[in-house]
Amino acid sequence: MTVPVLPLEFADARETADLAAFLARLLHYDRAAAVRMQAGGGALAVFGRPPSFEVLAIRTARLTERHAFDITVSAGELLETLGSFDTEGGADPGPLPAAVTGPPWTGVLPPRGGWRELPGLPDPVSLRGAVTAAVAEFRTRDEALPEARRTRTERDRIGREIWSRTIGATALPLRAVHAALSLGFLRPAPDFPVALLAAGSWLRLRTPFGSIALRGNDSGLGGGLAVSVG
């Protein structure tokens, strides 16, 4: 494994700021989060797995140097490194954090190629509306629970039922759309392009600000997803 000893130089300050925002959102869900970083051909891909959503989140950024490396690092330390970056064109980020032993998911990433677009995905406004409606449904059903049944187990059951529903005429579970919205990938912008892709058993929701990927046999979710918003 070859890791650059010089600081990473990003080609676009806005992409660097978006990457930092992505890491901050991951850390909101897991203060000990790790991310896997892959660089090659002048591009960097950062993979994270926010708890509860049970999906992989992917954010990319362009580099000025054609580094080639594959390393797992602390999301918090990487965010600190990016924090030294001046979006007005001043200081560059520091060197990469030290490698860490990643959790099991870091060894199973989506394929790099072979993706094909699938039909049936609703437009971005409808996707956001579906998540909003699902959050409202969960809260309504939670509030209607008798006191004796207001347990973590019962709330998890309601959450699994709601967030495992598929979206539109696709096999994409609603929790993947919720993850995209919560991580800042699904934004209220005009002409916002989104696509659903498939490769083997993997599905990927792609937006201009990042992707959400999951395998077809990934199922279930924790109670945190049921109430997380933003």
Residue 87 pLDDT greater than 70, yes or no: no
SS percent in the chain: helix, strand, coil, step 5: 35, 20, 45
The model's pTM: 0.87
Q: Per-residue confidence at 92, pLDDT binned at 50, 70, 90?
A: low
For the residues 191-214, what does the mean pLDDT come to?
A: 95
Between 190 and 55, residue with greater pLDDT: 55
Q: What percent of the chain has pLDDT over 70?
A: 86
The confidence score (pLDDT) of residue 223 equals 33
The confidence score (pLDDT) of residue 100 equals 93
> What angle, rounded to 10 degrees, do the helices at 174-182 and 124-143 form?
100
Name all domains of the chain by residue range, CATH numbers in brackets.
13-105 (3.10.150.10), 116-227 (no CATH)
